[in-house]
């Protein structure tokens, strides 16, 4: 169920989220969905200096929680849904005495509340 995530990858992902600005960036990217946001818009929305934001985005990307694409002169960042799903799956792998399907309704309800059906499928 963990989609091949090992403990060191989970630690890296959790470490990436264990900083206030990075957690804010990650949550903002989740809300933005697969369309993502331009780096400049993220910096303005969160009042984070551009150079600091670049470091935070690089940490999230190394942890497989965010990715970037070029659109014209802009760099658009979006949450990496596969990496996020892998982390969530890893965290609940042993849920309910090794029966993670028991937790599935909770996961589905959580994803439905934060994502559109298109980005969560």
| Tens-place pLDDT, residues 40-64 | 999 999 999 999 999 999 999 999 9
- How many Cα neighbours within 13 Å face the side chain of 99? 4
Place of tokens 């969530």: 88
Q: CA-to-CA distance for 91 and 76, rounded, in angstroms?
A: 28
2 within a domain of the structure (yes/no): no
1 within a domain of the structure (yes/no): no
Q: CA-to-CA distance for 7 and 10, rounded, in angstroms?
A: 5
Domain limits at 104?
7-120
Q: What percent of the chain has pLDDT over 70?
A: 83
> At 9, phi and psi to the nearest 5?
-70, -40
- Residue 4 confidence class, pLDDT cut points 50, 70, 90: confident
Contact yes or no for 75/69 (Cβ under 8 A)? yes
Domain count, the chain: 1
Contact yes or no for 3/100 (Cβ under 8 A)? no
Question: Residue 40: which CATH number?
Answer: 1.10.10.10
109 within a domain of the structure (yes/no): yes
101 within a domain of the structure (yes/no): yes
26 within a domain of the structure (yes/no): yes
pLDDT in tens, 75-93: 999 999 999 988 988 887 7
What are the Cα distances from residue 37, in Å, to 19, 45, 68, 95, 111?
Answer: 20, 10, 9, 34, 20
């Amino acid at each position: 169920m963990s989609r091949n995530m090992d403990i060191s990858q989970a630690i890296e992902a959790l470490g990436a989220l264990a900083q206030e600005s990075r957690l804010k960036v990650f949550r903002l990217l989740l809300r933005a969905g697969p369309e993502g946001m331009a780096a400049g818009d993220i910096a303005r929305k969160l009042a984070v200096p551009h150079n600091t934001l670049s470091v935070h985005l690089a940490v999230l990307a190394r942890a497989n929680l965010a990715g970037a694409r070029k659109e014209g002169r802009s760099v658009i960042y979006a949450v990496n849904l596969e990496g996020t799903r892998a982390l969530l799956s890893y965290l609940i792998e042993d849920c309910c005495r090794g029966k993670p399907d028991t937790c599935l309704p909770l996961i589905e309800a959580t994803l439905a509340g934060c994502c559109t059906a298109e980005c969560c499928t």
